[in-house]
Amino acid sequence: MTLGDKISKLRKGNNYTQEQLASILGVSRQAISKWESNVTYPETDKLIRMSELFDCSLDYLLKDEMETDHKFGNENIIILPFRKMFRERKSEKTVWGMPLWHIGKKAKGVVAVGVNASGIIAVGLKAQGILSIGALSIGILSFGMLPIGLLAVGLLAFGVFSAGCFSVGIFAAGAISFGILSFGAIAIGDFSAGALAIGKYAAIGDYARAMIALGDTQAAGSVYQKLGELNAQEIADVSGLLDAIVPSYFSWAAKIIKLLL
C-alpha cells in the first residue's frame, strides 16, 4: 500500500472530505488529491500533522510494506471509537474570531468538545468555559468530577456556590462540605447545618458544635446550646445572640441561619 493509498484510506475512515482535510492541514484540495494519487508527496510537517490527526505512526505512513499501524497494537480495537469521537471538525462560521463549534482533541470555539476544550460552552476531559462540563472543569457554571467555578457541581466541587460529594465554597452543600455557610451530612464552616454540624458561630444538626449549638442528639455550645426544638422565646433569644456575636460582614449568613430556627 502506497503513501497515497494510506492517506486516502485514513481520510475516508475518519469521514473527512478532501476539502476538510485540506483545511485542517492548511493546503489546497488539489494538494490532497495529488498526494492520494502519488503524483506529489506531503512535506515533513504535514506528515507529522497527519500522524497526530489519524493517531498513526510515521513508519506506517512512509513504509509501503506496512499494511497496519502497530503503534497501539490490539488496543486499536478499544480506543478507535474514541479517536473517531474527537476527530478534528469545526464550523466555517466564526463568532468573535472563534469557530461556532469545534470538535477535536484540542478544541476551541464558541461550543467546544474535545479532550481539552475551551470556549463559551466547553465539554471535555478538561474543560474551560463560561459553561464547562468535564472531568476537570473550570468556568462560571462548572459541572464534573472536579469542577471549579462560580457555581460548581460535581464529585469534588470548589466554587463560590458548590455542591458535591465533597464541596468547598462560600456556600457549600454535599456529603462533606466546607464553607462559610455549609450544609451536608458532615458540615464544617462558620455556619453549618447537617447530621454532624461543626461551626464557628452557629451549628444546627443531629450533633452540633459551635458558639451557638442546636442539636437533636447532642449539642455543645460555648455561648448557647439546646437539644430539641426551640420555642418562640428561645428563637428570639438565639436571634439576639446571633446579632451580638456575628461580625457585620457575616450578617447575611446569620439571617439565613435565623430562617432555619
Q: Which three cell numbers stand for residue 244?
A: 451580638
- Give the model's pLDDT for residue 80: 45
Over the stretch 221-245, which tens digit does the pLDDT of each residue have? Answer: 999 999 999 999 999 999 999 999 9
Mean pLDDT of 103-129: 88
Among candidate residues 244, 199, 239, the one with its CA nearest the CA of residue 219: 199
Q: Hey, what amino acid is at 112? A: A
| Overall domain count for the chain | 3
Instruction: Please say if the pLDDT value at position 77 is more than 60.
Output: no
C-alpha 94: how far from its chain's center?
24
One domain for residues 8 and 65: yes
51-55, 83-87, 159-163: range with lowest mean pLDDT: 83-87
- Give the model's pLDDT for residue 180: 95
> What pTM was estimated for this model as a whole?
0.64
- Structural domain including 211 reads 160-260
Pairing relationship of beta strands 98-99 and 101-103 according to DSSP bridges: unpaired
Instruction: Please say if the pLDDT value at position 49 is more than 90.
Output: no
**Burial call 27-48: b when 16+ CB within 10 Å, e when fewer:** beeebbebbbeeeeebeeebbe
Q: Can you list the alpha helix ranges (DSSP code H) found in the chain?
A: 3-13, 18-25, 29-36, 44-53, 58-62, 76-85, 232-245, 251-260
One domain for residues 210 and 254: yes
One domain for residues 256 and 186: yes
Contact call for residues 175 and 184 (beta carbons, < 8 A): yes
Q: Which of 8-17, 38-47, 92-101 ranks highest by mean pLDDT?
A: 38-47
Q: What is the mean pLDDT of the chain?
A: 87
Mean pLDDT of 177-206: 95
One domain for residues 66 and 103: no
One domain for residues 140 and 208: no
Mean pLDDT of 133-159: 90
Over the stretch 1-26, which tens digit does the pLDDT of each residue have? Answer: 889 999 998 888 887 889 889 988 99
Give the residue from 106, 138, 154 where a domain finishes. 154
Instruction: Please say if the pLDDT value at position 131 is more than 70.
Output: yes
Instruction: Please say if the pLDDT value at position 186 is more than 90.
Output: yes
Task: Write the DSSP string, 111-172.
Answer: EEEEEEEEEEEEEEEEEEEEEEEEEEEEEEEEEEEEEEEEEEEEEEEEEEEEEEEEEEEEEE
One domain for residues 53 and 124: no
Dihedral sign computed on CA atoms, order 40, 44, 47, 49: negative
Instruction: Please say if the pLDDT value at position 154 is more than 80.
Output: yes
